[in-house]
Structure 1
């Protein structure tokens, strides 16, 4: 063992049970140290840094065994929050307890201790493991309990109201409408959860062949009566500390976005010689603008129809965060130079411009949007589309490529969330403007 302050740091690398016991004992002692969080109560005190090195080492060495214990040897399909809660019980100190996270989430972003960094370390290690990571990604593509509970009613009535989102069946089309009007359809933990249920319902309803996602008409004075696709991450809630690494940043990419791209993972019931995911083509209807996260998700849709005055931007770097999986997908879609201009310099791209046609398939006047979206859905209803998109996706973005990307994303995004410049950026570019 080596020492830091008054604590002996375990040298890991032995049997799983021995390393687990040594890790838990060390992390429990660190938690009781009065200066573990550093002199200013922040995320990077020397003891906390030593603890994170031990967490990273333990998960890096034992990700597969740890995941097997958390999932009953991969017989159970646990979501991210369930895995985090299970890890907190199995290895005390490895990740924060539910109570610690609830306390942390009541603090504004500036005052957090950075406990979610430990979630980033956990999921970085699990996703890097081929066995654990693949199973985890499959678990996150299973239907949500909320969707399964709402499915019978949706099949009977053809509509489900999820508050800030809704889904309606119109013929063979399932239309998801985003209606977080207070924030111009900006995303937060609640909207991500609602959108995943809505996407699940579209995929689970056998009468639906094509999904559509569109923003509702807004009540904001500047955009009253106009549809808006989305304003990105909810910066007000991020500043208040109400955006979660697990329930927003990771659940978003591994949940509804990956389900739009790859469909639902379902158990093999033995009825087919080649089990397949429940997969359908999707249309994105972009009215007015798609900013940040709303622009990111366009990269997984099969057809994007936009109003001829719509535009796209990716201001994540200006805000201090990583724009989801755009760093993986945008260079493939738009080329390296335009991707860098968008990510590093927040370049505005008008939908009707030559560069805009790299991000959308068609632009029409607002009065023709309904007809254009309907026509796009009819074209994608061709039975051969699903087989073609499945082969296309498997080779343009293999699931292991996304898995490795999200492993790095988990740890880099959690560090960005607790960097001092993030709050400074928000106060300079967003909070002061709203005031």
Structure 2
């Protein structure tokens, strides 16, 4: 495919001219892609042709957003008067700016295919979201939108306040003695994370933060039915590799929503902009208890807790580099809590940390015998529920994780992870899990 890309001063100009040029260029590229077989059936020459087309369109998208990201965001959000979550924002962009991001129809077709047979259209979403997050005004506004309670949580709030119980497919939460006891309950897959689990976890975190009777949150894995760990509690096996292979892990529904949604809410709480509300966000302390193991996303999760306990026979690991992906915000947080050398050993080298290793003390606050973990958990939640804990944890998080530094990291993560999830080595690795039943 012959490129007709022209230099930005010719191609862009004002926003109206630039969006017309973008739409025309992408339309031409899409016509060529439509003549090719599905990605998995393409010959090397056809793959090269498709790659050249995508490169041309993506180069223009990057240049367009370098010039107009804030204007685009303001148009989509009514001058930042509307708070759109990730999925809502990219859908609005698809309708308002032809060719900037995939259309809902293109995404529906993409998500109907296994990972190995996708066009990689979420890379275009990654380009868009990186530009939005790089912009301080737009990026802060988007992050603020993601710190608001979800509609699902608001619908369930009255019932949870009345009963103190939440039952979902992936999570069970019970409020008892002022503690929101959140149990990850995907027993058949060792709490391996997918989009359902992310949705259920964010709902539970929202409810715990919204309920004034909750003082402390506790997260623990439930008892497993998986044959290898039947009858044992397990914290988390990380991202569900079978779901990746099936093409069911998306950028806005999992990879970014997880980081900017419930994990960020564990750190910074819920934004509340009701009229007359002048106090800081609604925050609460959180405790985690690790049984058996916390792998991948499970280990990432521990980095945002205020107090972490582990059974002495548990272990932690972040095998994302071996799987070919980026372990969420662990690259941002792990070095800060454990030091640069250990972070590289764990993330780049795949080092497993046993709860009894001396280095585990950098990641875990208490290690106790498995039979003593229940009692240790109760002591921990009682200890961390003091009146001044919230104010002090807020100030610690301000110092340890400045908002704009996190925003800058997530901007690069948006594109880097989109590229990795569609990379050939990742597709080959997760393809090995496609036929597994457990």
**Shorter-chain TM-score: what band?**
over 0.9
CA displacement 1:227-286 (0-9 Å, x = unmatched): 1100000001111111111111100000000000110111142244xx310100000111
Which of 105, 113, 123 lines up with 2:119 in the alignment? Answer: 113
Residue in structure 2 matched with residue 227 of structure 1 by the alignment: 233
State whether residues 12 and 21 of structure 2, in contact with CA within 8 Å, keep that contact through their aligned partners in structure 1: no
Which of 314, 320, 338 lines up with 2:318 in the alignment? Answer: 314
Which of 131, 135, 143 lines up with 1:137 in the alignment? Answer: 143
Taking structure 1 as reference, are residues 260 and 44 closer, same or farther at Cα in structure 2, changes over 3 Å only? farther
Whether 1:346 aligns to 2:346 is no
SS in 1 for 2:428: helix
CA distance in 1, matches of 2:224, 2:66: 47
Residue in structure 2 matched with residue 239 of structure 1 by the alignment: 245
State whether residues 246 and 434 of structure 2, in contact with CA within 8 Å, keep that contact through their aligned partners in structure 1: no
Which of 348, 355, 360 lines up with 2:364 in the alignment? Answer: 360
Which of 67, 85, 88 lines up with 2:91 in the alignment? Answer: 85
In the TM superposition, residue 102 of structure 1 has moved relative to its aligned partner by 1.4
CA distance in 2, matches of 1:249, 1:299: 17
SS in 1 for 2:287: strand
Deviation larger for 90-99 or 249-258 = 90-99
Q: Which runs of 5+ in 2 are unaligned?
A: none
Residue in structure 2 matched with residue 5 of structure 1 by the alignment: 2
CA distance in 1, matches of 2:280, 2:223: 37
Residue in structure 2 matched with residue 369 of structure 1 by the alignment: 373
Normalising by structure 2, report the TM-score: 0.94
Whether 1:294 aligns to 2:294 is no
Which of 187, 210, 226 lines up with 2:216 in the alignment? Answer: 210
Aligned residues between the structures: 429
Deviation larger for 419-428 or 142-151 = 419-428
Residue in structure 2 matched with residue 406 of structure 1 by the alignment: 410
CA displacement 1:154-213 (0-9 Å, x = unmatched): 000000111211211011101111111121101011111110000000000000010011
Residue in structure 2 matched with residue 21 of structure 1 by the alignment: 20
In the TM superposition, residue 88 of structure 1 has moved relative to its aligned partner by 0.3
State whether residues 192 and 252 of structure 1, in contact with CA within 8 Å, keep that contact through their aligned partners in structure 2: yes
Residue in structure 1 matched with residue 133 of structure 2 by the alignment: 127
SS in 2 for 1:283: strand
Whether 1:330 aligns to 2:334 is yes
CA displacement 1:72-104 (0-9 Å, x = unmatched): 111111000000100000011111111211111
CA distance in 1, matches of 2:24, 2:97: 9
In the TM superposition, residue 433 of structure 1 has moved relative to its aligned partner by 7.9
Residue in structure 2 matched with residue 423 of structure 1 by the alignment: 427
SS in 2 for 1:18: helix
CA distance in 2, matches of 1:284, 1:9: 53
Within 5 A, what are the aligned runs for 1:27-106?
27-34=26-33, 39-40=45-46, 45-106=51-112
Residue in structure 2 matched with residue 156 of structure 1 by the alignment: 162
Q: Which runs of 5+ in 1 are unaligned?
A: none
Within 5 A, what are the aligned runs for 1:165-184?
165-184=171-190
State whether residues 283 and 304 of structure 1, in contact with CA within 8 Å, keep that contact through their aligned partners in structure 2: yes
CA distance in 2, matches of 1:348, 1:88: 42
State whether residues 41 and 113 of structure 1, in contact with CA within 8 Å, keep that contact through their aligned partners in structure 2: no
CA distance in 2, matches of 1:213, 1:7: 54
State whether residues 334 and 359 of structure 1, in contact with CA within 8 Å, keep that contact through their aligned partners in structure 2: yes
SS in 1 for 2:288: strand
Residue in structure 2 matched with residue 278 of structure 1 by the alignment: 282
